[in-house]
Chain A
Amino acid sequence: MEMKPYPFTARSYPARLPELRAGAETRRHPVAIVGGGPVGFATALGLANFGVPSVLIEADDSVCFGSRAICISRRSLEIIERLGAVDGFLKVGLPWTGGRSFYRDTQVLHFQMPHDENQKLPPMVNLAQYSIEQFLLDAAEQRSELIDIRWNTRLTGIDARADGATLSLSCPAGDYTMEADWVVASDGGRSFLRDALGLQLRGASYEGRYVIVDIELDTERPTERLAYFDPSCNPGSTVLVHRQPDKVWRIDYQLRDDEDPEQATRPENVLPRVASLLDMMGERGKWSPIWITVYKANALTLERYRHGRVLFAGDAAHLVPIFGVRGANSGIDDADNLAWKLAFVVMGLASDRLLDSYSDERVFAAHENLSYGMKSTEFMAPPSFAFSLMRKAVLSLAADHPSLGSLINPRQTSAIAYTESPLNQAAERSSEFEAGPAPGTVLAECPLTIVENGKAREAHLTDLVAPSFTALHFSEDGEIPAAFDELKRDLDGRGIPFRLVPITARVASDRQGIHGWDHTGRLFGMYGAKPGSLYLVRPDGHVAGRWREADAAEAKAAIERILG
């Protein structure tokens, strides 16, 4: 059987040299981003939202090959929408809301991801990483005045100092050095920068190996995650199936401990197992293999993500198991957390301690993701006879005892609440609320009518998240105390991005500027708010602080403490 190519042709970009003097780039860059994958591009776009330029260094001459990361979560879609790249994701990506798990030939779990009438975006969409990268690249090319991409250019050395870094770069057109104030290390699982700085990932590596096969398949089957434990087509193994756009299907199956990975990935050993799986699933359509590779789960992270002027993000900072799909998604969340903080520092609006909070928050998030990921992995690739045996017990009981089913749930990714973050403000004031997201937590989604200069549109609360601090001030009809207008003038004068958005219980169409009208009547209750309440939201959509009876002085103090 012939391997088919992916239904995607990547455009190839040549390397080019910038203006040089004696082998050194004449222009100094505030931010150099090493690694042009989803995380690198998301960081560049995030910085561009603040008008901060960056140079993106990518060793390949095109977007990636292979489908690789294929599940993009709701939180990631919210971030990508703020980066101006979401249209392609929603048009091409396949949305899904749940999945089924089977033990032998019995369905033992049917799970649904959180999804209700409050939501703007689906819980998850499936699309191949080459598409993910292409859509982000399309958006980056729209901002070429701020995002300078160096294709086919490899980092060969770095001299990282307290005041910046000198990067040594190599491309077919020649070698040169570049000076940068800050360096973002988004260069993936085999990060050159990690090695160059002598840093080690710490955590656990699992022995269990999975073969990953992408096939093209003709079928009408719906999009949902399918997991087969000890299926008749592959006894003793675990098989995962995910649908992707353009008739591409991802199949992962577990190898036995005694199987040699090199042998196991040969087509003559893979294709019969795929045929047998498709037969068991009742799939009769034509199919062709596209790509075969092998995967080993890791649960690893750096201890800190900030090392002087170098900031680590994505797989360069942490490796999480694929089960629960927290890899690319947590990397995109890293980029969202990092971009605003780095922008504020570059713009001279914050002390560089703000970047220490990037490390604190995202290391915390990594530990949360790893612990969920490890839970999923312990089930998908049991690390001892005991885990294997207990899993078998749970699988064989779950159909008749559904309360045990939660142990089979893959615990899919979701946004992390930074419960211990140094950026969280006014804890004692927050505790006055009986509902709503506490500091460190992302906004809970709710439909909202957004009125801007007389024009109303049906939207959602998260549409108000912007590249600025956003103060959501709750009131009956948009009346805001004068002190807040003064606060806005003060912050505007200092160049600190800040928006004051009234959230009104009644429609207030004669107001100037922007306001959000709680047309469902649910928002106030969800947020435990009354007229006069305030939620201060960060550029990444996490709550910074909240007050039941807002005080402009306290809001100002909160912002100043965050910026250091």
Chain B
Amino acid sequence: MNEHELDTVYTQLCRTMTTVGESDSLLFLARFAMLAIDRIGDAAAAQQLIEQAAEGLPETVRS
């Protein structure tokens, strides 16, 4: 995936989530996470992603 492709995917994700709406966005992202885990098909890799995603959370400062 090159930078242009990354950009296209990122934008599609943002637009799709906008259409889904804020109240269902959490569910949307949860479904995406599950689909991604399923597609990656590698437990160690998926677990590493879970740890990386959790880094710095919960946020101790505002915003």
Which residues of A does B touch, CB under 8 Å? 104, 230, 235-236, 375, 378, 383-387, 389-390, 394, 396-397, 400-401, 403-404, 406-407
> In the complex, what's the smallest C-beta–C-beta distance from B55 to chain A, in angstroms?
8
Mind listing 9 A-B residue pairs with CB under 8 Å? A235-B62, A236-B63, A384-B14, A386-B17, A386-B20, A386-B22, A400-B55, A401-B52, A406-B7
Q: Is the CB of B11 within 8 A of A378?
A: yes
Q: Is the CB of B6 within 8 A of A385?
A: no
Chain A, Cβ-Cβ closest to B19: A386
Q: Is the CB of A406 within 8 A of B6?
A: yes
CA distance A389 to B52 in the complex (A): 17
Q: Is the CB of A390 within 8 A of B63?
A: no
Contact pick for A396, options B11, B22, B56, B61, CB 8 Å: B56
Chain A, Cβ-Cβ closest to B2: A406
Q: Which label, helix, strand, loop or mixed, suits the secondary structure of the B interface?
A: helix
> In the complex, what's the smallest C-beta–C-beta distance from A398 to chain B, in angstroms?
12
Q: B11 — which chain A residues lie within 8 A by C-beta?
A: 375, 378
CA distance A174 to B56 in the complex (A): 69
Q: Is the CB of A390 within 8 A of B7?
A: no
Given A386-B25, A404-B6, 7 additional A-B pairs, CB 8 A: A235-B62, A386-B15, A386-B16, A386-B22, A400-B52, A400-B55, A407-B6
CA distance A234 to B3 in the complex (A): 30
Q: B61 — which chain A residues lie within 8 A by C-beta?
A: 104
CA distance A43 to B12 in the complex (A): 39
Q: Is the CB of A230 within 8 A of B22?
A: no
Q: B17 — which chain A residues lie within 8 A by C-beta?
A: 384, 386, 389-390
> In the complex, what's the smallest C-beta–C-beta distance from B23 to chain A, in angstroms?
10
CA distance A404 to B13 in the complex (A): 14
Chain A, Cβ-Cβ closest to B3: A406
Q: Is the CB of A384 within 8 A of B18?
A: yes
> In the complex, what's the smallest C-beta–C-beta distance from A408 to chain B, in angstroms?
11
Q: A235 — which chain B residues lie within 8 A by C-beta?
A: 62-63
> In the complex, what's the smallest C-beta–C-beta distance from A406 to chain B, in angstroms?
4
CA distance A403 to B10 in the complex (A): 13
Q: Is the CB of B10 within 8 A of A390?
A: yes
Given A235-B62, A400-B52: A385 in contact with B7 (beta carbons within 8 A): no
Q: Is the CB of B7 within 8 A of A407?
A: yes
Chain B, Cβ-Cβ closest to A411: B7
Chain A, Cβ-Cβ closest to B15: A386
Contact pick for A385, options B13, B22, B52, B63, CB 8 Å: B22
CA distance A385 to B28 in the complex (A): 13
CA distance A389 to B7 in the complex (A): 16
Q: A397 — which chain B residues lie within 8 A by C-beta?
A: 52
Interface bits B8-39 vs A (CB < 8 Å: 1, else 0): 00110111111010100100000000000000
Q: B13 — which chain A residues lie within 8 A by C-beta?
A: 386, 390
Given A375-B7, A385-B25, A406-B7: A390 in contact with B14 (beta carbons within 8 A): yes
Contact pick for B18, options A375, A385, A407, CB 8 Å: A385
Chain B, Cβ-Cβ closest to A385: B22
CA distance A236 to B3 in the complex (A): 27
Q: Is the CB of A386 within 8 A of B14?
A: yes
Q: Ordered nearest first, which 9 A-B pairs have the shortest CB separation? A: A386-B17, A406-B3, A384-B18, A386-B18, A387-B14, A386-B14, A235-B63, A385-B22, A236-B63
CA distance A406 to B7 in the complex (A): 8
CA distance A273 to B6 in the complex (A): 35
CA distance A378 to B18 in the complex (A): 13
Interface centre among A235, A401, A407 (most CB of B within 10 A): A407
